[in-house]
Amino acid sequence: MKLIGDRFPEVEVETTHGKIKLPDHYAGKWFVLFSHPADFTPVCTTEFVSFQKHYDEFRALGAELIGLSVDQVFSHIKWVEWIEEKLGVKIEFPIIADHTLDVSKELGLIHPNKDATTVRAVFIVDPNAIIRAIIYYPQEIGRNIPEVVRALKALKTFDEKKLAVPANWPENEIIGDRLIVPPAKSVEDAKKRLEGAEKGEHECFDWWFCHKKA
């Protein structure tokens, strides 16, 4: 089972857009792989529509989407046709048909206390093919897609600014859209934190909780 910080496994997958080699297919780009339990199920349908509705936001952040379940590719194709016909939403991103369970087992998507369908998981993978975030939901609860967008945006912000991102950012209840200065690692660093606040480099509640504008 892969963990945060691991390299995404090299696999060739069958999708609704043909065969794709991961992570090479998205070399130099972020991608978000998300699994769903089964095609033609209500909760999964609502999720796919929402992912598609937010697809432009993902692409604006330089990221691509790719879905996955253990259904056959023909089931995926028929399902996305149904979504377009009945709900007026065209699913533009590929969906992996992992009927062999190879990818699902590699990523830990089949849980032993459940049936042989995949849990609702999200893997956010960076341009270097490193898994940066993993989010799991039970089969009974649909995901909040804006949170996936927020997590991706937060990761990109951290990489650019080297500043940590608070809860509910950019609407944190304490510091709003400001970012957190990484904690001090020595007595000298702690002293510099407070000195930096006096110079206006950032603001501090204390030496261990300093923040600044993005």
Domain limits, the chain: 11-161, 162-214
**How far is C-alpha 201 from the chain's CA centre?**
32
* Active-site residue flag, 210: no
pTM for the structure as a whole: 0.94
% of the chain exceeding 70 in pLDDT: 99
pLDDT-derived band at 179 (thresholds 50, 70, 90) equals very high
pLDDT in tens, 6-18: 999 999 999 999 9
pLDDT in tens, 194-205: 999 999 999 999
pLDDT-derived band at 114 (thresholds 50, 70, 90) equals low
Cis peptide before 23 (omega within 30 of 0): yes
Report domain 162-214's class. Answer: alpha beta
Q: Which of 22, 44, 107, 124 is catalytic?
A: 44
Here the tokens at position 213 are 């504008």
- Residue 111's pLDDT is 77
CA proximity to 48, closest of 127, 152, 120: 120
> The domain at 11-161 falls in which architecture?
3-Layer(aba) Sandwich (3.40)
